[in-house]
Amino acid sequence: MEFSFDVNQLFTDRVSVIEQRFGSGRSDHQDQIAEVVNELGKASAKAQKLTAPITSMSKLQSQKHQLFLLKDDEDRRRPVILGFLKVGYKKLFLLDRHGVHVEAEPLCVLDFYIAESLQRSGYGLELFEFMLQHKHMDPVLMAYDRPSPKLLSFLSKHFSLTQTVPQVNNFVVFEDFFLNKSAAP
Ligand code: ACO
């Protein structure tokens, strides 16, 4: 994904963590950051065939979510935004392996997108691993909001997460999520 302005000025690192307050106070920079986030949100919605984007700058500002943005700057003159991963804590009512209700507030994967032509090149894993380190998180302790078949395949391949525990909401959790939380014997 390319933009008419210099994304290197906005995002100095390979991975930038964008949250409520990000970037310089310059209003032109804020507008450009918003344009990047909004375009990524639209591309992700299209890739997942959603009717409307679930990621935008205004949503990011009103909800306490974090967006990890991956930039490729091997060619410093033509930097490219490769994709993003959005996470946030959510209070959820989940069912454990025994069907017992458990209230939890896990870190959730809310949106995840790598540009079409660059998928299956390892960028998603790079971004996901950065997030895990940044949050000191284990993927099995996370919940996944309406994961696409590609994300389920990604989690199976890279983290051996395969055994889901059926839920009545749109979130997917995997078996060991409940290891320390189960109310049942
Ligand atoms: N078909 C099936 N599996 C896929 C595909 C695909 N087209 N693309 C990636 N994967 C899975 C596979 O397990 C693949 O391994 P394989 O090639 O050996 O089969 C693995 O991911 C590859 O890992 P990476 O290269 O690190 O992943 P990638 O950079 O492609 O990022 C992502 C994964 C973000 C899911 C990307 O494919 C994508 O943007 N897909 C479209 C949007 C999407 O479905 N996002 C998830 C929405 S759900 C949510 O966010 C809660």
- Domain membership of residue 125 (yes or no) is yes
| Closest CA to ligand 1's atom 48 | 147
Number of folded domains that form the chain = 1
pLDDT tens-place values along the chain, 185 residues long: 889 898 988 999 999 999 977 776 788 899 999 999 999 999 999 999 999 999 999 999 899 899 999 999 777 666 689 999 999 999 999 999 999 999 999 999 999 999 999 999 999 999 999 999 999 999 999 999 999 999 999 999 999 999 999 999 999 999 999 986 544 44
CA of 117 to the centre of ligand 1 (A): 12
Which ligand 1 atom sits closest to the C-alpha of 157? 13
CA of 172 to the centre of ligand 1 (A): 16
Domain of 22, CATH number, reads 3.40.630.30
- Domain membership of residue 63 (yes or no) is yes
- Tally helices (H) and strands (E) across the chain: 5, 9
Enclosing domain of residue 77: 7-178
Residue 113, amino acid: Y
| ipTM of the shown complex | 0.99
CA of 161 to the centre of ligand 1 (A): 14
| Closest CA to ligand 1's atom 27 | 124
Which ligand 1 atom sits closest to the C-alpha of 111? 50
- Domain membership of residue 162 (yes or no) is yes
- Domain membership of residue 1 (yes or no) is no
CA distances from 67 to 83, 108, 121, 163 (A): 10, 12, 20, 27
- Domain membership of residue 96 (yes or no) is yes
- Domain membership of residue 72 (yes or no) is yes
CA of 100 to the centre of ligand 1 (A): 32
CA 127 from centroid of its chain's CA atoms: 9
